[in-house]
Amino acid sequence: MEMAETTGRERMSQKAKDLFGSAARVLATGTGKQENANSLLPVLKDFGFQPELRKEGKKELIISRNCPILKLAQKYPELTCDTFHTVFLREVLNRPRVTLRQAIARGATECIHEA
C-alpha cells in the first residue's frame, strides 16, 4: 500500500512538473525567442523580476532581484523555480543548458540562472 501511495505521488509530481514546464513553453512562445540574455532583460523587467545580467568568465548570469510569484515559489520551489522559471529561460533564449544556481524562494537574496 505504501509503495502504491509513493508511486502515485511521484506520478502526480511528474504531472505537475510537466504542467509547469508546458506553461513555461507557452509563455516563451508568446514572448518570442530572444537574441541574447541582454535582450531578455526588458521582458523580465515587465514580469517584475528586477533583472540584471552579470558576466562570470564566459558565462552569463541572469539575476532576478525580485520574485513576482514568491508565495507560490516558496510553497513549490521545485515547480516554480526549478521548472517554470528555468524552462522559460531555456526556451526563450534557446539555450537548453540554462541552470538555476540559487533561488529567493529557498532563502537566497536573489535568483541566479547560469546561461
User: pLDDT digits over 48-100, tens only?
Assistant: 999 999 999 999 999 999 999 999 999 999 999 999 999 999 999 999 999 99
Residue 8: is its pLDDT beyond 70?
no
Mean pLDDT of 7-20: 79
* 3-class SS shares of the chain: helix, strand, coil, % to 5: 60, 15, 25
Residue 115: is its pLDDT beyond 90?
yes
Question: Worst-scoring range by mean pLDDT, 6-20, 37-51, 57-71?
Answer: 6-20
Average pLDDT, whole number, for the chain?
92
Place of cell 515559489: 73
